[in-house]
Amino acid sequence: MANINTKKGVIGILTGGGDVPGLNPAIRGVTIRALHEGYQVIGFRHGWAGLVDMVREKDYDNSDNFLVLTQEVVDRAARTGGTFLHSSRTNPGRVSKSNVPAHLKDTFTAEKNDLTSEVLRNLGWLGIDTLIPIGGDDTLSYGVRLHKEGFKVIAIPKTMDNDVPGTDYCIGFSTCVTRTLQLVNDLRTSAGSHERFMVIEVFGRYAGYTAMLPTMAGAANRCVIPEYRFDIERLTELLVNDRNKNPSRYSTVLVSEGAMFEGGEMIFEGETADAYGHKKLGGIGDIVSDKVKELSKKFNNGKTIEVVNQKLGYLARCGDPDVVDSIVPMAYGNIALELLLKGIHGRLVVLHNGSYGNIPIETITSTKKIVDIQEHYNTVRLRPQFSSFEAKPLFLMGS
């Protein structure tokens, strides 16, 4: 057993996957409530990697793997973006031979290794009673695995793609939409000055929410999303028409990074995949830019229309959280503690139809959350559609 003085119990918390604004407020929400209730909180560094790389020796320096959280620590970080615990895309159930920690290399020698047994031993060595992972469906899918192994897990959803099943809202989504609106509005001056198309690539591997909501809010004329393979000629024709109707003579399309051409597949930077089997996306915005420029003369009396091409990327996920991503994470953290205090675990904290709640953690791996094309996306006009907004969730497209 590690030399850690416990009180009422010990809670573990970690953040995994891509950073988003709102993670630090969530960590604070958990920690402040836990300390008030008499628990100790241990923060694991680098997501699941902190639990994989630990060495169970009393005098070993594990400061790069975990730290005891105090009110002073979490108060200082709570107003900032990112995660002070850091993050990774480590999947303990599938660790490559080269990434197995040095002290375990003699035991785990396969090309892919399941280190779950070590993770459970490390949790036990630290005296962790309940683990609270904060992440997207990849990070939380391993939380489901630990739950099935019998460990107490309460999950908090985070991802700017807003695609964790079972919840209308994931930490980071509001700030992502806010940033997208701000950045696209800033880019309008260049697009209008030169009378160009504006092609903006945004996040969204399997779900198009980060393109849909800003488009609905007026950031763009059109959007193309992963859920519908689009016709590039139709998109170009629409953009030309939009440009002709605009007194400033420009038009805009938001392109989800996972969007696909009609008859095509996702565009990847290379063949290397992460621990969850995902290849790095990249390039669809560049290809759309080249294609709409090339095809523009077909719909513009033989004249080519130039393009402002921008990939928002990390600009949409950096910086401080907005008001929604300051309040919701705090509430999520407190709900997680309320469940723990009631002896309830194996749950995912959610927002559904405007109310906070919780659902079985297995929901994360049993279904997918994507845009309902028939209800929310006009495949002819390549933009969002709604017949009515009454009784819809705050961000319109719920789980």
The residues assigned a catalytic role are 161
List the one residue out of 49, 62, 32 whose CA is nearest residue 94. 49
List the one residue out of 335, 356, 331 whose CA is nearest residue 154. 335
How many CB atoms neighbour CB 73 within 10 A?
Answer: 17
Residue type for 135, please?
Answer: G
C-alpha to C-alpha distance for 72 and 286, rounded to whole angstroms: 45
CB 240 within 8 A of CB 295: no
C-alpha to C-alpha distance for 214 and 181, rounded to whole angstroms: 6
Q: Which residues contact 27 (CB under 8 A, 6 or more apart)?
A: 13, 15, 43, 69, 74, 77, 78, 83, 84, 85, 134, 333
Strands (E), the chain: 10-15, 40-44, 66-69, 95-96, 112-113, 130-135, 152-157, 197-202, 222-224, 251-256, 268-273, 279-281, 307-311, 347-352, 355-360, 377-378, 383-384
* Structure-block tokens of residue 48: 């699941």
Q: Which residues of 306-342 are buried (b: 16+ CB within 10 A; e: fewer)?
A: ebbbbbbeeebbeeebbebbbebbbebbbbbbbbbee
C-alpha to C-alpha distance for 285 and 325, rounded to whole angstroms: 28
* Structure-block tokens of residue 124: 């036990």
DSSP calls for 327-375: HHHHHHHHHHHHHHHTT--SEEEEEETTEEEEEETTHHHH------HHH
DSSP calls for 134-188: EE-HHHHHHHHHHHHTT-EEEEEEB-TT---TT-S--BTHHHHHHHHHHHHHHHH
∠ Cα 139 142 145 (to 5°): 160
